[in-house]
Amino acid sequence: MHYYTFSSFAYSLVVFILISIPFTNSRFNNTTVVQLETLTTYPFPTVISDAIWHSKDSLLLTFTTPAELQSITPNAIADPKNPDNKAAYQILHSFDEQACGGIAYLGNDKYLLVTSNLQVFPKTNPAPGTHSLYIINLEAWTEGTKGVVVNKLVGLPEAKWLISIVPLPKSKNSTRKFPLVLISDAMAGSILQFDPDTKQSATWFTHPSMQPSPKADVPVGINGLRYFNGYVYYTNTFAHSLYRLAVCDDSWTPNGKPELMIQDPEFPHGANFEIQKAPGVPQLYVTGSNRVVKVAMVDGGRWTWTDIAGGANDTIVAGATSAVKGRVGLKEKMWVVTGGSLLSPWIKGFREGGKVVRMDI
């Protein structure tokens, strides 16, 4: 177990835009001590795009490069002399496409995963019109065995850059096999609704807050996406912003206009995030810009945020792309996945692949 010190600002995106922007605001010169443990460090140029809790014995990881689905043991902390820790993870499936993106739980040990022909090495090449959705069936699988069933569900040629996937709750008396699913389209600046039962998709919601910022170096807007307790939460990468949108609990349609929670030039270029239950309102853990920040509501109903891990020149969460919570015994933990030096090219002399890091919350 180790304690690391973090400082300053960095620039990284789950959307894999390899741009370095100088940033010298003094806010990020303050150091923070966070308890962190590394599970594995993959070889360069591995990029982990998303993670989801499967069981006490397994976290599922999706990879942008290579296009794989893997499982890793949540408690298998790497020895510093063996950072790869190959015994801790298992390749569940390799895809024909170039990249895997977000993953969502559908119930009964089944998952929905997005793929595309996005390329991130040696340079980033978005691939509109190449997205597909797969059903991952782990009913017959246990850690260390075969039994993973992967089936392509549908292609989505209308999609431009799908990133995050979130299932909506089923209604109390629903006869649906699978829940409705929402997917963020970063380049289209919208949220797509997909019905796994009928294989039909449509634009669920679009709003100026989801559109790429006029100042963006590339046309990327909405990125991370989560549902919690009647609201859909989302980030806009280049706008340095976080929003939530009320959802009707009977029809699962948008209810009103988005509520701005955070808009701050010092807020990370938000990638994906995790939500933790808290008294009254949730707490959000947002990854991006080589950092993890905690978002919470303070007295008076104002949302605020605090850096809890990361920084420009600290490599422990370099290229942070997503986070997922789970339990170790009675303690709740957070696992952060990264893209390593491929998403942090400004760190001189730093060259490693993505990693999985466990942290206290």
**pLDDT one-digit tens code per residue, 201-239:** 999 999 999 999 887 777 789 999 999 999 999 999 999
Q: What percent of the chain has pLDDT over 70?
A: 90
Q: Give dist(CA 291, CA 51) in Å, integer.
A: 17
* Predicted local confidence at residue 361, as pLDDT: 82
* Predicted local confidence at residue 198, as pLDDT: 97
Task: For residue 144, name the pLDDT band (cuts at 50, 70, 90).
Answer: confident
Write down the mean pLDDT value for the chain: 87
Task: For residue 289, name the pLDDT band (cuts at 50, 70, 90).
Answer: confident
- Both tokens of 138, joined, read 């782990």
Q: Give dist(CA 26, CA 100) in Å, integer.
A: 36
- Both tokens of 289, joined, read 């810009």
Residue 125 has pLDDT above 80, yes or no: no
Beta strands in 175-255 (DSSP E): 181-185, 190-195, 200-206, 222-228, 231-236, 241-246
Beta strand 231-236 with 259-263 is: unpaired
Least confident of 124-128, 207-211, 246-250, 336-340: 124-128
* Predicted local confidence at residue 331, as pLDDT: 87
* Predicted local confidence at residue 215, as pLDDT: 76
- Distances from the Cα of 117 to the Cα of 150, 215, 323, angstroms: 18, 26, 24
Q: Residue type at 127?
A: A
- Both tokens of 37, joined, read 């443990």
Task: For residue 145, name the pLDDT band (cuts at 50, 70, 90).
Answer: confident
Higher pLDDT, 169 or 328: 169
The mean pLDDT of 116-125, rounded to a whole number, is: 82
Instruction: Confirm if 190 and 205 have CB atoms less than 8 A apart.
Output: yes
pLDDT tens digits, one per residue of 273-287: 999 887 678 999 999
Q: 103: which strand partners?
A: 113
- The angle subtended at Cα 299 by Cα 293 and Cα 305, nearest 5°, is 10
Beta strand 331-338 with 190-195 is: unpaired
* Predicted local confidence at residue 140, as pLDDT: 93
- Both tokens of 203, joined, read 């634009």
| DSSP reduced 3-state for 28 | helix
- Both tokens of 75, joined, read 């408690």
Q: 287: which strand partners?
A: 292
Beta strand 149-156 with 131-137 is: antiparallel
The mean pLDDT of 178-188, rounded to a whole number, is: 97
Residue closest to 50 by CA, chosen among 104, 10, 94: 104
- Distances from the Cα of 138 to the Cα of 115, 178, 183, angstroms: 18, 15, 22
DSSP 273: E
* Predicted local confidence at residue 2, as pLDDT: 32
Residue 155 has pLDDT above 60, yes or no: yes
Q: Residue type at 36?
A: L
Residue 6 has pLDDT above 60, yes or no: no
The mean pLDDT of 57-66, rounded to a whole number, is: 95
180: left (phi over 0), alpha (psi -120 to 50) or beta: beta
Task: For residue 259, name the pLDDT band (cuts at 50, 70, 90).
Answer: very high
The mean pLDDT of 4-12, rounded to a whole number, is: 29
Q: Give dist(CA 113, CA 172) in Å, integer.
A: 25
- Distances from the Cα of 326 to the Cα of 14, 275, 317, 322, angstroms: 21, 11, 18, 14
Domains (range + CATH), the chain:
2-13+30-354 (2.120.10.30)
Least confident of 1-10, 125-134, 157-166: 1-10
Handedness of CA 274, 56, 84, 103 (dihedral sign): negative
Residue 21 has pLDDT above 60, yes or no: no
Distance of alpha carbon 286 from the chain centroid: 9
| DSSP reduced 3-state for 139 | coil
Least confident of 33-42, 183-192, 260-269: 33-42
Q: 306: which strand partners?
A: 294
Instruction: Confirm if 290 and 10 have CB atoms less than 8 A apart.
Output: yes
Residue 15 has pLDDT above 50, yes or no: no
